[in-house]
Amino acid sequence: MSKQDPNPRTKKECKNTKAMWFSFSSSFPQSKPLSPLKQSTTARSNTSDDQFPPTHVKSITSTSNPFVKHCVKLRNSSSYRHSHGSVLLVGTTPLREIYNFQELMQNKPTTIDCLFLHENAAVPEEFVESGIHIVRVNSVVMKKLSGLQSPESIDTISLVRIPSTFHSICGDHPQDISKWFPSAFRILVLDGIQDPGNLGTLLRSAVAFGWDGVFLLPGCCDPFNEKALRASRGASFQLPMGARMS
C-alpha cells in the first residue's frame, strides 16, 4: 500500500500558495547583512579586549573588568547586542539545547565565543574537549553577569553569536525573503508581542510543533532579550527568524 501524504494538496493549490508567498515576501525591505559567524585568529587579534578576552585569561575576579562590562551591556541593551552580533546566554540548559540541536542537524548557525564557569563548577560534559575558551569567575562576577539576585543555581554563562538564521530588516528596498525560510510551509507570524517571556514561550512552542520559521512584525520585543532567551530555552537559535527591529 502506498504511503499517503498527510497533507495532500493539488498542484493548483501548491501553485497558488507559492504565488501568495512570493507576493507577500516581495513587500519587505532589504535585510541587514549579517556579520561573519566564525572569527579567525587574525580577526580576534584586532578586536579590543573588552569584547573578547585574550586566550591566556583563565579567570576574572572583578566586576570592573572591561569584558564583564561589555557582557553586561550585551544583556541589557538590544541595540548593543545587534551592533556587536553577540548574546549573553545565562544557564546551562539553553546552551545544551543549542549544542544538541547543532550536533543533530550537523549545522552550526552560531558560534560560542566564551564560556563563563563558576570557580567551583565542573565543565559541562559536552564542552570538555570543545576548544571553547573557558573563563572561571567568582560568585560576585557571576551575579553581575547573570543579572539575577540569587544566581546560586547558575553555573554557566556563555557569550554566543546571534545565529546566521536571524535576519533583521532595514531600509526601504523590497527583497524576496523566501531565502530566509528554505522550507516555508508553516511560518509563525507574531505581531506586537512585547512581553519577552511570552515571546520566548511562543518560540519554544514553534520548535516543539515543528514550524519552519518565525517572522516578528513591528512592536515585538527582541527575541534575544534575556527573559525571552530564558523562556525560549535555546529556541531562538533553532528557528529561521526574520524581524523588523524598531
Residue-range definition of the domain harbouring residue 79: 41-161
Q: Is residue 12 included in any domain, yes or no?
A: no
Give the CATH number of the domain where residue 218 resides: 3.40.1280.10
Last-in-domain residue among 128, 161, 194: 161
pTM of the model: 0.73
pLDDT at 168: 83
pLDDT at 229: 93
| 146 and 235 part of one domain | no
181/152 same-domain check: no
Q: Residue 70 pLDDT more than 90? A: yes
pLDDT of residue 171: 61
Given a cut of 80, is residue 177 above it in pLDDT? no
Report the percentage of the chain scoring pLDDT > 90: 42
Residue 62 shares a structural domain with residue 124? yes
Same domain, 190 and 229: yes
Same domain (yes/no): 133, 168: no
Q: Is pLDDT of 245 > 80?
A: no
In a domain, 60, yes or no: yes
Examine residue 88 and state whether it is found in any structural domain, yes or no: yes
102 or 220, which is more confident: 220
| One domain for residues 131 and 77 | yes
Q: Tens digits of per-residue pLDDT, 204-215?
A: 999 999 998 999
Residues 105, 177, single domain; the answer is no
- Written in H, E and C, the secondary structure of the chain is CCCCCCCCCCHHHHHHHHHHHHHHHCCCEEECCCCCCCCCHHHHHCCCCCCCCCCCCCEECCCCCHHHHHHHHHHHCHHHHHHHCEEEEECHHHHHHHHHHHHHHCCCCCCEEEEEEECCCCCCHHHCCCCCEEEEECHHHHHHHHCCCCHHHCCEEEEEECCCCEEEEEEEEECCHHHHCCCCCCEEEECCCCCHHHHHHHHHHHHHCCCCEEEECCCCCCCCCHHHHHHHCCHHHCCCEEECCC
